[in-house]
Amino acid sequence: MNKTTLRLVDELFETGYLQGGCPNNARHPSNPNFISRVDGDDIRGTKRALDTAAKFNQLAVVYFHVIGDDGLPVSKFEEIINYVEETDLEVITPSQLVDGDNY
């Protein structure tokens, strides 16, 4: 990651997701090209980030590199999905974030 990388993200994409490990401003991220994301492989940390997002009306982007096989066990992924369903979190797509589609 360097100045050129950051410039290219800004020029080529509407949003960019970087490792940050914390929620973001839900309605208006300060910079849509540098949105923080949370590693979903850390189940406890993911739940904490989701709780913080729910409590303060923030955006929490959770990512997974591999689910199943040599990655996160499917049962752990399902645990996160079930946790989201049990909370008052609204799930949106990146396109909805960019377009501001009634979320």
Confirm whether pTM is higher than 0.85: no
Q: What is the pLDDT of residue 57?
A: 85
pLDDT digits (tens, 9 = 90+) for 64-94: 999 999 999 999 999 999 999 998 788 888 8
Alpha helices in 1-103 (DSSP H): 3-12, 43-56, 74-86, 94-99
Token pair 């904490």: residue? 48
Q: What are the residue ranges spanned by the domains of the chain?
A: 3-99
Q: What is the pLDDT of residue 95?
A: 85
pLDDT digits (tens, 9 = 90+) for 26-58: 666 777 788 888 899 999 999 999 999 888 888
d(CA 54, CA 4): 35
Residue 25's H or E segment, with its range, is strand 24-25
Nearby residues of 74 by Cβ (< 8 Å), 6 or more positions away: 67, 68
